[in-house]
């Protein structure tokens, strides 16, 4: 089966380069245009199911896509973004000022430090990869190898899903790029996983 991983469109905090975790911001005007561009690009693709994080920015992106396929968007808690705790809404300069020791450790190895008042990246990996495994199992029950599922989620979940599926240590996340409103594609078979494309944003330049 094929998994189309979509990162949600832009919010005001994305535009302001603020850390954004579980805060439930909507798409801004740019984000809405990005969601429409995603929807148009995927409108002529085979899509059998659409899954989304429960956070508003992801749901709005998923619903834009779903209009062209007459599919209900299924909400999965396991696709939520990393809980960034006390740094939610902060810029990197704010983090340096208010959580200096944490910031140094985070920039050195973000996989080994828990966010102040928040989550831990390895826990997020387990959460979102369990959700992906459930999706793959569910789609395979259709007994068709060509099933295609769109999954609309966030930066850290996509990083974790790609690294875990490819057998890479989480530390490799820093070597990957996943932009807003990007598309990444993975093919899952019984004995192999193939990364078909990563961080496709061609639709945003059209």
- Backbone dihedral angles phi then psi of residue 203, each to the nearest 5 degrees: -65, -25
| DSSP secondary structure code for residue 112 in this structure | S
Contacting residues for 202 by C-beta, under 8 A, at least 6 apart: none
CA distance 168 to 139: 25
Annotated catalytic residues are: 8, 154
Residues paired with 5 in a beta bridge: 151, 184
- Per DSSP, helices labelled H in the chain are 12-15, 29-42, 56-66, 92-98, 100-108, 121-140, 155-165
Please answer whether residues 45 and 2 qualify as being in contact, where contact means their C-beta atoms are separated by less than 8 angstroms: no
């Amino acid at each position: 089966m094929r998994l189309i991983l979509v990162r949600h469109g832009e919010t005001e905090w994305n535009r302001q380069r603020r850390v954004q975790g579980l805060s439930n911001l909507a798409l801004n005007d740019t984000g809405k245009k990005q969601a429409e561009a995603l929807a148009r690009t995927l409108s002529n693709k085979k899509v059998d199911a659409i899954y989304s994080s429960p956070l508003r920015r992801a749901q709005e992106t998923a619903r834009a896509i779903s209009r062209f396929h007459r599919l209900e968007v299924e909400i999965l808690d396991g696709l939520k973004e990393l809980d960034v705790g006390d740094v939610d809404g902060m810029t990197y300069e704010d983090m340096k000022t208010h959580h200096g020791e944490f910031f140094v450790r985070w920039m050195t190895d973000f996989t080994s430090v828990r966010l102040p008042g928040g989550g831990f990246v390895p826990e997020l990996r387990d959460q979102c990869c369990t959700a992906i495994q459930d999706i793959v199992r569910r789609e395979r029950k259709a007994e068709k190898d060509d099933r295609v599922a769109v999954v609309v989620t966030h930066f850290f979940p996509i990083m974790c899903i790609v690294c875990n599926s490819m057998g890479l240590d989480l530390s490799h996340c820093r070597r990957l790029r996943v932009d807003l409103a990007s598309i990444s594609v993975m093919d899952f078979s019984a004995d192999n996983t193939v990364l078909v494309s990563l961080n496709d944003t061609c639709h945003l330049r059209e």
